[in-house]
Amino acid sequence: MRYNLFTGSVAAVLLGLAGITGAWAQDTAAPQIPGSGSTADHSKFEILQKDFQSGPEVTEACLSCHTEASDQVMHSIHFQWDFTHPETGQQLGKSNVINSFCGSVAGNEPRCTSCHAGYGWEDMSQPPPQQSNAVDCLVCHDRSGQYTKSATLAGNPPLAPVPQGMKTITGADAWPVDLAKAAQSVGMPGRDNCGNCHFYGGGGDNVKHGDLSSALYSPAKSVDVHMSPEGENFTCSTCHVSDQHQWDGSRYATHASDMVGTGKPGSARTVSTCQSCHGTDPHPANIKGMKLNDHTDKLACQTCHIPEFARGGVATKTFWDWSTAGRLSPEGKPIAEHNFTQSDGKELHTYLSTKGDFEWEEDVVPYYAWFDGQVEYTTADRVIDPSKPVEVNPIKGDPDDGVSRIWPFKRMVGRQAYDTELNHLVYTHVWGPTTDTAFWTNFDWAKAIDAGMKAAGAEYSGKFDFVDTYMYWPTTHMVAPAADAVQCEECHSKNGRMAGLTGVYLPGTDSTGIVGLLGRLMVLAAIAGVLFHAALRVISGKGKGGHKHD
Amino acid sequence: MTKRCVKVYPRFERFWHWSQMTLIMALLFTGMGLNGVHSLIPFGPAVMLHTIIAFALMALWVFAAFWLFTTGTWRQFIPTTEGMFQVARFYAYGVFKGEEHPYKKIFWRKHNPLQAATYFFLKWVIFPVIWITGLAYLSYNFWGTGAEGAQALWVVSNLHLLTAYVIVVFIIVHVYLLTVGHGFRQHVKPMITGYDDIDLTPEQEAYLETNEPGRLKPEC
């Protein structure tokens, strides 16, 4: 049943993808039978054959049958953007945290909430809209390939007539969405449904995660064995299994390890770990496989099986310096410099007056650290030490806790604003085409920070400067074919990938350690000894010694 | 006493010696690769080869131990101090004076005392240490966990490494000493053909001629 649904949606994804590669467009071919294999063909439902005038109208139609859907979605992180960490109690979620990319949602709502799984959330100081039709069903379930959300309408789709210059959430020129067509097409989410938001986090393709980019709409097998049409052709929800619109897989409380593995028939399936499909002893039962399995008490699967992230031709931002933003041309106009050429020839910006300096990288070797899955955030209430780089989300882990594994991360290097009196990271108001405080409009940090802090309701001394930051993004997508996994000697060598990690002993990394040196000394002494002995024999002219005792 | 050409190294002993030599050289090559001394072999294949060869060598040792004890050859390896000083003095002094090697091979003593002591040390200390640490290394996941386990593994692996270096030293000296006395060819030959010139008592000679004529040859 599940498989049939899946193959059906895959066919639909492929059709949808045809549109992405060209002009991601409204006139993509009609989808395959929506939810092929399903008992319901939504195009035959009378209630969906209407001239819908807004997103919420479609949602109302959905709810007339799926009566509990709205309630379920509203309790999910996709809608709430609020997450109380079960271990630390810290209040996280997009509505609360500060990151090293665009900073914060607070103060920039209609832009940031363009990717909210709902409609009309315009004030972060308030919870998301509570009326049941504020849920956006289509963003996840549209299979027509032509539903999208405007970049600046707090989650609403662009509808005819589309204003000049409007963009979609992926940065494409907006088109008028046909809501009826979308409503009649619904099915299980494809890679495009999730990717249109998650591939573009941080303001552009692959900017944020490094392992989630537009390359995954239809990746080559070498980029992602699971999601590739040449491979398993998984959608996101093949692994991120949902139950009542709650998904497994979290960056705040990650499954750093999984000792349960596949489990028994009937046991919980809502686990997105590698082990939940591959088991806890995934390598074959031979000498090599056993030795590889021996690594699973120290390493996450991802550590070997994702040799680099930002593969598939889409670069990721690895450095973002906000402190240089605001430099204008002599005429007082914003500047854009493009000094990075992506492997597909595309020029990417390396300086923007609005955002500062950037660095991009492709095929990036990850940063490795012990990780127990629990992430704390340096939220605006936490005191920082500006004398050294601030860890925006310090990675916790302990080789002795039985849970931690060495994980690969994208380590984002940043430089962002903080309050020099209170030593807090600050919220910034960057987006606001019509305000006189938004940084991207006025290029005045003092005003932008002041407005951001007001919007977030946070205490602010009025004095600011910039501090270096690190932010860590666990790497878990873009699993490579087994043949491309990280080779042993990448780590088992001097200055290998794990150099500097404690709590683990890696053979082959220290041949010139104390014992190695002692051994070499012994060998040299032995050679010197026999050479000396031989030389004496030659000098004494007696060669082998006497052998006349025949 | 008569000097006779006697088979001192039966076929199994020669097979044991040369296959052990080959396996140890292979272990040294792969092991030094694993340790990072050279990078002539990638780490993964080196682990596999090192492991498989080590198991082969241990299997050989099991057979050798069985052979040593069932044939009584183990007595050849019991160290003795008798004559040891003379041998040591010869290597350190006499050899330069053109003196003769003080040790005469006899039927139940094919090793000189220094040799016997060295082999005894090798068999009872060096080899056990390297295979015990090797097995501990290989089975790390059954006994080691966490940071403490990692520290214990450091000790195990370095003990393994140190022992390996001792074996290298043994090989250097062992091969060099073949050149002393009768000379390299004369010393290696018995381990290939099995026959060497041995001083036999009349009783030993009579016994062999009567019961094991195949162990005697007119000339080596």
pLDDT of residue A30: 36
**Does A264 contact B at CB distance below 8 Å?**
no
CA distance readout (Å), A441 to A150, A354, A463, B178: 20, 8, 21, 88
Pairing of strands A356-361, A351-352: antiparallel
Do the chains contact at A536 and B183, CB–CB below 8 Å? no
Amino acid at B78: I
The answer to whether residues A179 and A38 belong to one domain is: yes
Listed residues A475, A491, A507: the one ending a domain: A491
Q: Where are the beta strands (DSSP E) in A90-209?
A: 91-92
The answer to whether residues A487 and A519 belong to one domain is: no
pLDDT at A12 over 70: no
pLDDT of residue A548: 45
pLDDT of residue A549: 41
**Domain assignment present for B35:** no
Q: Taking CB atoms and an 8 Å cut-off, how many pairs form between chains A and B?
A: 144
- Residue A369 distance to chain B (closest CA, Å): 14
The first and second tokens of residue B47, run together, are 């682990």
The minimal CB distance from A547 to the residues B37, B43, B181 is found for: B181
pLDDT of residue A542: 66
The radius of gyration computed from the CA coordinates of chain A, to the nearest angstrom, equals 28
SS3 (DSSP) at B187 = helix
The first and second tokens of residue A141, run together, are 């379930």
Contacts of B136 in chain A (CB under 8 A): none
Q: Where are the beta strands (DSSP E) in A132-264?
A: 242-243, 246-247
**Domain assignment present for A260:** yes
- Non-local CB neighbours of A89 within 8 Å, separated by 6+ positions: none
pLDDT at B131 over 50: yes
Instruction: Tokens 């007595």: give the residue.
Output: B75
**Domain assignment present for A285:** no
d(CA A26, CA A177): 7
**Domain assignment present for B51:** no
Do the chains contact at A545 and B101, CB–CB below 8 Å? yes
The answer to whether residues A255 and A342 belong to one domain is: no
**Domain assignment present for B137:** yes
User: How many domains does one find in chain A?
Assistant: 3
The sheet with strand B2-7 has its strands ordered as B195-200, B2-7, B216-217
User: How many domains does one find in chain B?
Assistant: 1
The answer to whether residues A432 and A522 belong to one domain is: no
Say how many C-beta atoms besides its own lie within 10 A of residue A527's C-beta: 15
What confidence tens digit (pLDDT) does each residue in A22-59 have?
A: 334 333 443 343 356 788 899 999 999 999 999 999 99
The answer to whether residues A64 and A162 belong to one domain is: yes
d(CA A367, CA A473): 10
8 Å CB contact between A196 and A65:
no
**Does B85 contact A at CB distance below 8 Å?**
no
**Domain assignment present for A292:** no
- Chain B, window 9-68: residues with a beta carbon less than 8 angstroms from a chain A beta carbon: 34-37, 39, 42-44, 47-48, 51-52
pLDDT of residue A362: 98
Mean pLDDT check: name the lowest of A407-411, B53-57, B106-110: B106-110
**Domain assignment present for A191:** yes
**Domain assignment present for A286:** no
More confident position, A550 or A132: A132
**Domain assignment present for B117:** yes
Do the chains contact at A493 and B165, CB–CB below 8 Å? no
Do the chains contact at B97 and A533, CB–CB below 8 Å? no
Nearest residue on chain A to B92, alpha-carbon basis: A533
8 Å CB contact between A245 and A499:
no
The answer to whether residues A329 and A185 belong to one domain is: no
**Domain assignment present for B53:** no
d(CA A453, CA B50): 62
Give the DSSP H/E element, type plus range, for residue A347: strand A347-348
Contacts of B36 in chain A (CB under 8 A): 493-494, 508-512
CA A212 remoteness from chain centre: 5
**Does A513 contact B at CB distance below 8 Å?**
yes
The first and second tokens of residue A288, run together, are 């090599």
The first and second tokens of residue A228, run together, are 């590739």
The minimal CB distance from B97 to the residues A400, A492, A542 is found for: A542
**Domain assignment present for A430:** yes
**Domain assignment present for A496:** no
A280 pLDDT tier (thresholds 50, 70, 90) = very high
Tell me the residue range of the domain where B153 lies.
2-12+72-217
The answer to whether residues A520 and A483 belong to one domain is: no
Amino acid at A448: A
Amino acid at A375: V
The answer to whether residues A527 and A458 belong to one domain is: no
Nearest residue on chain B to A538, alpha-carbon basis: B96
In this structure, what are the phi and psi dihedrals at residue A292, rounded to the nearest 5 degrees? -70, -40
**Domain assignment present for A498:** no
The answer to whether residues A458 and A533 belong to one domain is: no
What confidence tens digit (pLDDT) does each residue in A493-503 have?
A: 999 999 999 99
The minimal CB distance from A504 to the residues B91, B150, B157 is found for: B150
Nearest to A494 by CA among B37, B203, B53: B37
- Residue B151 distance to chain A (closest CA, Å): 7
Tell me the residue range of the domain where A530 lies.
515-544
Q: Respond yes or no on whether the N-terminal peptide bond of residue A307 is cis (omega within 30° of 0).
A: no
